[in-house]
Chain A
Amino acid sequence: MTENFKPKITLFHCINAFDEAAELSLTDMDNCEMQTVKMACSSMVKDVFLLKAFEAGADGVVVLVCPESQCRYVEGNIRAKKRVAWVQNLLDEIGLDRRRLALGNMAAGDKAAAAQIINDVLKNLAELGPNPAV
């Protein structure tokens, strides 16, 4: 791991899973720099946006969505899951490593669940180091 490496995380989240208070509690984490992208529904996570986050310098990307079968728009989180899996394969193919990207299901406002998902990615990043494409 690179010394003094403070990972940059881009967090995509659906506004139904995640309110302002939950967002504030996470953007305050002092072991990473966090940028958030709010979406009306997680189905708006397109593959190109996830890749662009890496192009913009993110070391890791986290997508937070509602629990399966609890999407307000029925299948938004399933679409998000499939797109994240697609981009994880692309990341492996280009040598960035799929572990830089994760999707987590969380009940609305469940800060602990959100923090857990982010911490899992931070653990991966501690091993992987900074984004090698920056």
Chain B
Amino acid sequence: MIVGEQKPISEIKEIIAPYKKILILGCGTCVKTCFAGGEDEVAVLASALRLACKKDGKEIEIEEFTVERQCEDEFIREGAPAISRNEGVLSLACGAGVQALARRFVKIPILPGVNTTFIGVLEKQGVFTEECSGCGDCMLAIFGGICPFTRCAKKLLNGPCGGSQNGKCEVNPETDCAWQLIIERLKILGQMDNLRAYVPPKNWQTGLSGGPRKLVREDHII
């Protein structure tokens, strides 16, 4: 899922400062799971902003609404009436959701309330970890299901740097050494031979360095 966190209230206050009627629009998918932008977070932020604005003597009307997914037009449509009766929309979706809204509602300012951070997993309740960089050429098959591009601080593809201590990365001792994990997993799988093959430098053109990517599924286009 996409992991993000809500921007600080002071920044959000500045972002919405020019508006008197604002819709806080949540997204019920990834950002809900990471407690950044689901229905509950919309309610908390709306309440905190109402209190903050009242305290500062600023008049503002804040409406709350959450759609199932902000990155899909089909779901965004449900929010259309609320969006059109406000001067601006503070989106608590990821950057894709914010842009999907901006694409559809050209004349209304769509403002980000969340810092979109990474593609990750829920490691345990309340803890999210980055697992994938969306490189466009997945090699998890040879690395035992653990991504060295994302989880090794040096993005090493042909074995560890040798600096890890007690299974922790030398760059950040809070983080597991990805290569330690890869080797342990490959041992369990009986696939240590995977490490004999040289992995050539990554072709980053399939990643973001080749510019924004587009995925076309011709079979789904009429």
A interface list, Cβ under 8 A from B: 46-48, 51-52, 54-55, 90, 93-96, 132-134
| B50 close to A95 (CB less than 8 A) | no
B contacts with A, residue count (CB < 8 A):
15
| Pairs of residues from A and B, 9 with the lowest C-beta to C-beta distance, nearest first | A94-B52, A51-B47, A133-B54, A133-B51, A133-B55, A48-B43, A132-B55, A93-B9, A48-B44
* Cα–Cα, bound, A55→B9 (Å): 17
CB distance from A129 to the nearest CB of B (A): 12
A96 to B9, CA, bound (A): 13
* Pairwise interchain contact B47-A52, C-beta atoms closer than 8 A: yes
A51 and B10 within 8 A (CB): no
Extra A-B contacts (6), CB below 8 Å, given A51-B44, A93-B48: A47-B44, A48-B44, A51-B47, A51-B51, A94-B9, A96-B55
Is the CB of B40 closer than 8 A to any CB of chain A?
Answer: yes
Is the beta-carbon distance between B54 and A134 smaller than 8 angstroms? Answer: yes
- Point out the residues of chain B lying under 8 angstroms from A48, CB to CB: 40, 43-44, 47
Q: Is B8 an interface residue (CB 8 A)?
A: yes
- Which B residues form the contact surface with A (CB < 8 A)? 8-10, 40, 43-44, 47-52, 54-56
**What distance in Å separates the Cβ of A131 from its nearest Cβ neighbour in chain B?**
9
Residue with the greatest number of chain B CB neighbours at <10 A, chosen from A48, A52, A54, A134 = A48
With both chains docked as a complex, state the minimum distance between the C-beta of A94 and any C-beta of chain B, in angstroms.
Answer: 4
Nearest chain-B residue to A89 (Cβ)? B9
A48 and B26 CA atoms in complex are apart in Å by: 15
Closest B residue to A134 by beta carbon equals: B54
Docked CA distance A94–B50 (Å) = 10
Q: Are A96 and B51 in contact (CB under 8 A)?
A: yes
Instruction: Decide: A55 near B51, CB < 8 A? Known: A93-B8, A93-B9, A94-B9.
Output: yes
Given A46-B40, A47-B44, A48-B43, A54-B51 contact (CB < 8 Å): yes
List of B residues within 8 angstroms of A132 by Cβ: 54-55
Tell me the nearest residue of chain A to B49, going by C-beta: A94
Contact between B44 and A94, CB atoms less than 8 A apart: no
B-side contacts of A93, CB under 8 Å = 8-10, 48, 52
**Beta-carbon contact of A94 and B48 below 8 Å:** yes
Question: How far, in angstroms, from A77 to B49 measured CA to CA in the complex?
Answer: 27
30 A-B interface contacts by CB (under 8 A): A48-B40, A48-B43, A48-B44, A48-B47, A51-B47, A51-B51, A52-B47, A54-B51, A55-B51, A90-B9, A90-B44, A90-B48, A93-B8, A93-B10, A93-B48, A94-B9, A94-B48, A94-B51, A94-B52, A94-B55, A95-B56, A96-B51, A96-B55, A132-B54, A132-B55, A133-B51, A133-B52, A133-B54, A133-B55, A134-B54
CA distance in complex: A51, B46 (Å): 10
A132 to chain B, nearest CB (A): 5
Q: How far is the CA of A94 from the CA of B44 in the complex (A)?
A: 12
Q: How far is the CA of A132 from the CA of B51 in the complex (A)?
A: 9
Residues of A near B56 (CB, < 8 A) are 95
With both chains docked as a complex, state the minimum distance between the C-beta of A40 and any C-beta of chain B, in angstroms: 19
